[in-house]
Chain A
Amino acid sequence: MNNPIAKNIILVIGVLFFQLMILNQLNLAQSLLPLIYPIIILSLPRNINKSLLLGIGFGLGLTVDVFMNTGGANAVACTLVAFFRTFFLSSLAPSDMGSETIRPSVINMGFKNYAVYIFLLLAIHHVAFFFLEVFTFNEILWTLSRIIVSLIFSSILVLVYQYLFVSKKK
């Protein structure tokens, strides 16, 4: 399992399966739709080519759109996440944290910085996605409450994922 490409493919398939076949099918509550799959974009290596990053974001979002029947809402949200990732990484992750190829994770960024990193980027994703999904500013409070509840849940799930799967390898 040292081949990074195989590792990436397993990560993508695993996360998408969990998102689409388990989280989406559970239909937890009317206000709750945790979206954790942007973790794929968030944990790509730090020095990745910028246009490749945007391309991966768009492709990933479009894949999820096909499964969720959401037109292009996920594609837009993911492209935004991929676009803003660089800014947040440069301010939240110290550049002397070792190799430039390192993947952002809770270990090499520290709990506080990593939590801020995923919370802000997931917030961008959720705001874009939920507003594009309803496509109206009517009942804005209801949409906002859906965003906040789902965002809290998604962030917790991503942190749990980090401690379960990423920490062990160290």
Chain B
Amino acid sequence: MLVIGLWLTIQQKNYQRTAFINSANTISGGAYSTVNNVQDYFHLRSVNDELQAENAQLRAQLLTSLRRVNGDYFQVVDTLYQQKYIYRLADVISNNYTSANNYITLNMGSNDGVIEEMGVISPTGIVGIVGAVSDNFCTVISFLHPKTEISCKLKSNGVSGFLKWVGKDISKAVISDIPITTRVNQGDSVLTSGYSSVFPAGIYIGKIVKTEKDLENQTQRIEVDLNIDYSALNKVYVVENLFKNEIEELSKKEEELDE
């Protein structure tokens, strides 16, 4: 039994997705969602505020709230634009953020079109990546997990890197692969880069609070103050990239060319 237990622990560490022992099953998912139905009422106010703030932000991007520059509107012809991302609103039914490896359970599963490795965002930032799916529930590997790395870029100069949580503090994350020669401004915004095909580009993640030079690796350690509050997740969006397969096929071909 010890061996089985150890094997289960180790095989969970080895793979990109969560082990087959996970909270996206009918029993634990059902229990979490029942308890969450009660808890929901206590969060109504803050959820409302969050969604209203997002509404205001989206309203500002509407064509009607843009100022005329040359006397003409840019006409949006919808044959020029093709839908790339689909957002599904989901409820968080279990949220952990005090462990070393944190997971979130959502009330959406394969019946709602959710599949593994879809991104999850909230109105205030990045939540995580779907790790396991059952019929009606899914388990999300939180950003607060050593496996999660998010491709990001700095707003002022477009330099890109990988953002990672380093443990302990849920409001801090670190970018550690930007070369030492790149100039980094404190207070600069960090956005998603959109290179990874999981998250759309340009989602605000947080701002830079500290930079340290790492002479040994010739890189900088950039500390980012996260905008999202992981202790107050209620409504989140599951993001589906409609071009994901196409992008992945391309990168497979790239690998073949390398060989």
Contacts and interface: CB of A to CB of B under 8 A. Distances in A.
Contacts of A69: 18, 21-23, 96, 101, 103, 139
A115 interface: no
A113 B180 CA distance: 59
Contacts of A76: 2, 5-6, 9
B22 A66 contact: yes
A18 B190 CA distance: 40
B16 interface: no
Given A21-B31, A25-B94, A32-B98, A132 B170 contact: no
B213 interface: no
Given A66-B28, A67-B23, A69-B139, A30 B9 contact: no
Interface residues of chain A: helix, strand, loop or mixed (majority): helix
A71 B2 contact: no
Interface string B248-259: 000000000000
Contact of A72 (B5, B25, B231): B5
B9 A73 contact: yes
Interface in B20-68: 21-23, 25, 27-28, 31-32, 35, 39
A77 to B, nearest CB: 8
B100 A75 contact: no
B168 A66 contact: no
Given A65-B8, A142-B168, A71 B21 contact: yes
Contacts of B39: 25
- Chain B interface bracket (under 10, 10 to 19, 20 to 34, 35 or more): 35 or more
Given A58-B5, A139-B167, A142-B167, A30 B98 contact: yes
B87 interface: no
Ranked nearest first, the 9 interchain pairs of A and B with the lowest CB-CB distance are A72-B8, A71-B12, A76-B5, A75-B5, A72-B5, A69-B103, A71-B9, A134-B100, A72-B9
11 contacts: A24-B96, A27-B96, A68-B23, A68-B99, A72-B5, A72-B7, A73-B5, A75-B5, A76-B5, A80-B2, A134-B100
Interface of B: 1-2, 4-13, 18-19, 21-23, 25, 27-28, 31-32, 35, 39, 94-101, 103, 139, 167-170, 231
Interface of A: 20-21, 24-25, 27-33, 54-55, 57-58, 61-62, 65-73, 75-76, 79-80, 130, 132-135, 139, 142
